[in-house]
């Protein structure tokens, strides 16, 4: 067959352009061709499906996970091609690791966390309370609650679907102790903040500086971190964070305990002190459980039981502090006393009563109140107190105002209510509410209830219920 020059040139050009495509379509080395033609994700998908077809669950799981890490597509786990692997341990472990899950335990943490956040906000909307004290205890409850909700997101794998929550509660780690410490100082010493107190925020600012690069990552990069293939560990800076948090809990726990021990207020006002004591005990249990958790995590083997034990300690704190702080705002009224002292100081600045005589009269008055329990007399008057002290009504009134920050009737009712608290909290006696009212000096239940509500911020019935859990 004779080919013209034109025909020969056409055949040559055809072979020149088509031959390379023929070579790509039929590679000599199939594996080499796959690597060139397909992306890593497509390669992992293909291999996972091939191994699944061959009933090789171990290798199928390996490439399913590689595909997920490459694409972030968690729905791949539930492909119909893998249905035969259901109830097989390796495949179920993969599902448990990446797919959404929910159980009663995680619901409990979520429930407590939401309660705590609600209480934290409600505390700051109450009227006639010390806003600084309620802000401190509210912040304490809020941060623990926020952490519990974050843990719930982690346990349910929801963090994979919302990557921006990565380590979001970590920056609060060093604030639990300072908040409780300054709260105790506020309610026991009426402490006012100073500029130097800002130094307590330095460790938290350091944490923020370390975590800012992590928080600024894109959602894709954060997801890569969570799956262990990112620029940071799955739990960034877990060791220094845990050690620093444990040190903070211990140091501020000791400081808070010292404040609690140094509070020398009248011991008959037992309810507030019992509540503060119980909070301290729960804080101590949480600190101990966190120390055990840290030890197991770094020295021994991570234990889910220990992990949940320290979480349960935290839920106990949230529930208890939320309840007592909301139900008994008397603990948050410290600032009122300071204002009264300034008014009283101005009122008696021209008095002829010397400091020495004033202190002597105060000592005698305490003896009448605490030893003789003169307030039990239902006809008690200021003149009666003055006669017992051997002084004038004016001097007796000044001593009460200056040393107790109360007027005569407030002082008498305060001692009556405090003794009533002791009697109502004593499970060994058979006195009912009206019997207690008569016992401490009241003539009727209405006046008793009114005075009790003022000093305890609870009715006698509410106090009995609170005492049962305190």
Structure tokens at 257: 């305990």
Verify that 171 and 269 share a domain, yes or no. yes
pLDDT at 215: 93
Tell me the per-residue pLDDT of 43-59, one tens digit each, with 9 for 90 and over. Answer: 988 898 988 888 888 99
Span 68-93, mean pLDDT? 87
CB atoms within 10 A of CB 114: 14
Indicate whether 287 belongs to any domain.
Answer: yes
Tell me the per-residue pLDDT of 170-206, one tens digit each, with 9 for 90 and over. Answer: 889 999 999 999 988 887 777 788 889 899 999 999 9
Task: Please say if the pLDDT value at position 373 is more than 90.
Answer: no
What pLDDT band is residue 217 in, cutting at 50, 70 and 90?
very high
Cα distance between residue 56 and residue 432, in whole Å: 74
8 Å CB contact between 363 and 399: no
- Residue 33 CB-density burial (10 A; 0-12 exposed, 13-18 middle, 19+ buried): middle
Structure tokens at 269: 């006002």
More confident residue, 3 or 417: 417
CB atoms within 10 A of CB 356: 8
Residue 27 makes CB contacts below 8 A (sequence gap 6+) with 33
Indicate whether 347 belongs to any domain.
Answer: yes
Verify that 233 and 148 share a domain, yes or no. yes
Verify that 221 and 327 share a domain, yes or no. yes
pLDDT at 212: 93
What pLDDT band is residue 264 in, cutting at 50, 70 and 90?
low
User: At which of 98, 120, 141 does a domain end?
Assistant: 98
Span 246-267, mean pLDDT? 82
Find the CATH number of the domain harbouring 442. 1.10.10.60
Radius of gyration of the chain (CA): 35
Range with the largest mean pLDDT of 213-222, 292-301, 442-451: 213-222
Structural domains of the chain, count: 4
8 Å CB contact between 61 and 92: no
pLDDT at 144: 93
Cα distance between residue 384 and residue 389, in whole Å: 9
pLDDT at 16: 38
Indicate whether 294 belongs to any domain.
Answer: yes
More confident residue, 24 or 468: 468
DSSP string, 113-161: HHHHHHHHHHHTT-SSS-HHHHHHHHHHHHHHHHHHHHHHHHHTTGGGT
Indicate whether 318 belongs to any domain.
Answer: yes
Task: Please say if the pLDDT value at position 14 is more than 60.
Answer: no
Verify that 140 and 184 share a domain, yes or no. yes
More confident residue, 245 or 452: 245
Indicate whether 32 belongs to any domain.
Answer: no
Tell me the per-residue pLDDT of 113-161, one tens digit each, with 9 for 90 and over. Answer: 999 998 888 877 766 567 788 888 889 999 999 999 999 999 999 999 9
pLDDT at 111: 92
More confident residue, 412 or 331: 412
What pLDDT band is residue 325 in, cutting at 50, 70 and 90?
low
Domain span holding position 8: 1-26
CB atoms within 10 A of CB 306: 19
- The helix/strand/coil state of 430 is coil
Tell me the per-residue pLDDT of 57-76, one tens digit each, with 9 for 90 and over. Answer: 899 889 988 998 888 888 88
pLDDT at 251: 95
Verify that 420 and 321 share a domain, yes or no. no
CB atoms within 10 A of CB 208: 13
Least confident window among 21-35, 77-91, 241-255? 21-35
Verify that 146 and 287 share a domain, yes or no. yes
Indicate whether 357 belongs to any domain.
Answer: yes
Q: How high does pLDDT run on average in the chain?
A: 79
8 Å CB contact between 229 and 160: no
Verify that 138 and 165 share a domain, yes or no. yes
Indicate whether 31 belongs to any domain.
Answer: no
Verify that 113 and 261 share a domain, yes or no. yes
Indicate whether 33 belongs to any domain.
Answer: no
Structure tokens at 413: 């009712």
Residue 76 makes CB contacts below 8 A (sequence gap 6+) with 45, 48, 64, 67, 68
User: At which of 50, 76, 98 does a domain end?
Assistant: 98
Verify that 146 and 248 share a domain, yes or no. yes
pLDDT at 397: 83
Find the CATH number of the domain harbouring 171. 1.20.1070
Span 234-244, mean pLDDT? 89
Verify that 141 and 42 share a domain, yes or no. no
User: At which of 76, 98, 120 does a domain end?
Assistant: 98
**What is the model's pTM?**
0.67
Task: Give the rounded percent of residues in the chain with a pLDDT score beyond 70.
Answer: 79
Verify that 112 and 89 share a domain, yes or no. no
Verify that 451 and 465 share a domain, yes or no. yes
More confident residue, 420 or 148: 148
């Amino acid at each position: 067959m004779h080919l013209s020059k034109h025909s020969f040139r056409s055949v040559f050009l055809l072979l020149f352009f088509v031959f390379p495509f023929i070579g790509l379509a039929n590679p000599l080395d199939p594996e080499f061709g796959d690597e060139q033609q397909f992306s890593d994700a497509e390669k992992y998908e293909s291999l996972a499906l091939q191994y699944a077809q061959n009933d090789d669950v171990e290798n199928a799981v390996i490439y399913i996970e590689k595909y997920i890490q490459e694409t972030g597509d968690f729905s791949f786990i539930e492909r119909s091609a893998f249905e035969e692997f259901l109830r097989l341990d390796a495949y179920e472990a993969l599902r448990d690791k990446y797919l959404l899950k929910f159980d009663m335990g995680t619901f409990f943490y979520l429930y407590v966390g939401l309660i705590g956040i609600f209480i934290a906000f409600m505390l700051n909307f109450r009227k006639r309370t010390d806003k600084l004290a309620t802000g401190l205890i509210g912040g304490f409850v809020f941060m623990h609650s926020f952490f519990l909700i974050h843990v719930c997101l982690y346990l349910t794998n929801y963090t994979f679907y919302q990557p921006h929550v990565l380590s979001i509660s970590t920056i609060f780690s060093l604030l639990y102790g300072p908040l409780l410490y300054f709260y105790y100082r506020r309610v026991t010493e009426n402490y006012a903040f100073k500029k130097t107190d800002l130094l307590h925020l330095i460790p938290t600012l350091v944490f923020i500086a370390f975590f800012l690069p992590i928080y600024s990552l894109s959602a894709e990069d954060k997801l890569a971190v969570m799956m262990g293939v990112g620029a940071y560990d799955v739990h960034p800076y877990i060791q220094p964070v845990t050690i620093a948090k444990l040190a903070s809990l211990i140091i501020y726990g000791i400081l808070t305990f010292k404040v609690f021990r140094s509070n020398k207020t009248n011991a008959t006002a037992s309810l507030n002190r019992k509540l503060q004591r119980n909070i301290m005990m729960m804080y101590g249990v949480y600190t101990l459980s966190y120390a055990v958790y840290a030890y197991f995590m770094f020295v021994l083997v991570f234990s889910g039981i220990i992990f949940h034990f320290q979480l349960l300690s935290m839920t106990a704190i949230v529930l208890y502090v939320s309840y007592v702080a909301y139900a008994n705002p008397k603990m948050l009224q410290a600032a009122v006393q300071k204002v009264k002292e300034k008014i009283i100081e101005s009122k008696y600045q021209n008095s002829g009563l010397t400091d020495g005589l004033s202190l002597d009269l105060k000592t005698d008055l305490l003896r009448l109140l605490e030893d003789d329990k003169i307030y039990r007399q239902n006809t008690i008057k200021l003149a009666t107190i003055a006669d017992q002290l051997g002084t004038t009504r004016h001097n007796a009134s000044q001593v009460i105002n200056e040393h107790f920050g109360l007027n005569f009737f407030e002082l008498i009712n305060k001692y009556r209510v405090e003794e009533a608290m002791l009697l109502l909290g004593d499970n060994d006696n058979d006195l009912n509410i009206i019997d207690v009212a008569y016992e401490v000096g009241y003539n009727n239940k209405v006046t008793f209830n009114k005075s009790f509500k003022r000093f305890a911020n609870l009715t006698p019935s509410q106090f009995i219920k609170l005492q049962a859990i305190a």
